[in-house]
Each structure stands twice: as structure tokens, then as C-alpha cells.
Amino acid sequence: MSVSFRDEELLADVICRLIGDVRHVAVGASSPIPATAALLARERGRLQNLGRPYVSLLGSGAHSFFTDGARELFDCAGQGRVDVFFLSGGQIDGEGNINLVSVGDYNKPKVRFPGSFGSAYLYYVVPKVILFRVEHSRRTLVPKVDFISAPGGSADNVFRPGGPIALITNRCLFDFDRARRRFRLASVHPGHSVEEVIENTGFDFDGPEQVPTTPAPSAETLELMRKVVAPQLAEVYPQFAEKVFGVGSLSPHAGRGLG
């Protein structure tokens, strides 16, 4: 029996599986879907009595180890104590480079983005960086970014433990081959097609002859997301929790952040 789900729930489930079995997942600001995935991963870990992953949501009082914001996040990442992080960009190209600065001529840009902040640093030191972009179009997924805020790859003589492992969009999931610095189409989300992905992607990518469909979230996953994760999420993202899950206030689960 098929179970209905929202796009946000599908993406959170996919990201949760990408997180895998790790110790610590950190989520930056303005990232409600990755935050949903991180909290879902923690709840799955609790059900399996794993006690992990720990989850740190910037801006959260209930779900963060940090008392000094991003400064502590950078220190923790530099010490190798953040296993997964999420990055996005106004532009992302086929080599995994991201642009958080501007489009067009740097001195006279057509569009100005918020800025790189710590993206380049975290891209180098966090082992599993998951790229995330809801808008999958030739405007956002480009042949070459106009400005490299954070490079997807580095020269062979550069020590770099971190980097991208995947790119997830509203249309599909790409894996990233670090050695070749190139994306590979891993699956296409339900309701979308390979032809649609090709048409809306500005860079070339690899893929199998038969591209699988992204698995839908199970009924058990949806129940866990809606009943346990959503109330926790409402502390940091109340509008998102209300829109997607119909949760408008905190619940007793909201204070379970550090366990």
C-alpha cells in the first residue's frame, strides 16, 4: 500500500540515509530539511540503541552543544569532531564548486549572495559534506560557477580530509566522485525523469544505463518524522514545521537535544 508524502519528507529521508552511521552531525542556519534529516537520523539511532549521532543545530537551545555559535562549530570541525555538514550555493557546478558571493562580473554583479562565511573551511575539514539545493535549474546548476566560494576538489598535494559526497535537489540525487571531481546521477525522485534532469542541469554528469527511482519514505519513517522529529524541529523552524507537518508548538520531545 502506497503512503502519501510531501517532497520535503522525501528529501529528508534521502539525506538521512546519506548521513549514515556517524558520531556527530552539524546543521547550519536556514536549513530546515537537512535539520529534519539530522534529527531523524538521531531518532533512528535511538531506536537501535546506538546513542548516535549527536546533532548540533545552530540557533537551537535544545539541540546544540555550542554556546558560542559558529566559532565553536569551526573549532569542533577543525578537530575532526564533525562528521557531516550541509552546504548550498546560489550556483553549484559539475566539479562541486559552490558560489555564495555573486553572479556576473565581481565588481558589477547581477546578483549578490549573502557571502561565503565558513563554507570554504568546512568544505575542507568535514569528511561528509552533503550539497543541497531545492531549485534544480540551469540557473543554479551551472557549467562553471562565476565565483568559487568553496572548491569541490583540491590538488593532489593538498591535505584535505573533507569534501562533497552528494548533491540532492528537488528532482534527483547525485553522488560525487572526488577522484574525478564529477557528479553521477544516483536516482531520480518519484514524479521526475532522467530527461527532465538533463534538461534542467547546466553541467555534464555520469549515470548508469538504468537510473533507479529514489525510494519513497516508509510508513514507519513518516510516522517517526511527523510525530517525533517535527515537534523538535519547531523550536528552530516553527514556520516550516507548521507548513510541512502541521506542528505549531513545541512538545515534550523538544528538549531531547543532547541525549
Q: Give per-residue pLDDT as tens, 38-91.
A: 999 999 999 988 888 999 998 898 898 787 778 889 999 999 999 999 999 999
| Domain CATH for 174 | 3.40.1080.10
In a domain, 257, yes or no: no
Cβ partners under 8 Å of residue 34, min gap 6? 12, 15, 27, 86, 130, 132
Residue with cell 573551511: 121
- State how far the Cα of 42 lies from the Cα of 21, in Å rounded to an integer: 10
Q: Tell me, yes or no, whether 40 lies in a domain.
A: yes
pTM comes to 0.93
Q: For residue 239, is it within any domain?
A: no
Give the per-residue pLDDT at 208.
Answer: 96
- Total tally of structural domains belonging to the chain: 1
Q: Which domain holds residue 22?
A: 7-218
- Among 242, 216, 221, smallest CA distance to 230 is for 242
pLDDT score for 247: 85
Concatenate the DSSP letters of all residues of 166-229 into one string: EEEESSEEEEEETTTTEEEEEEE-TT--HHHHHHT-SS--B--SSPPBPPPPPHHHHHHIIIII
**pLDDT of the residue at 256:** 43
Evaluate whether 96 touches 140 at the Cβ level (below 8 Å). Answer: no
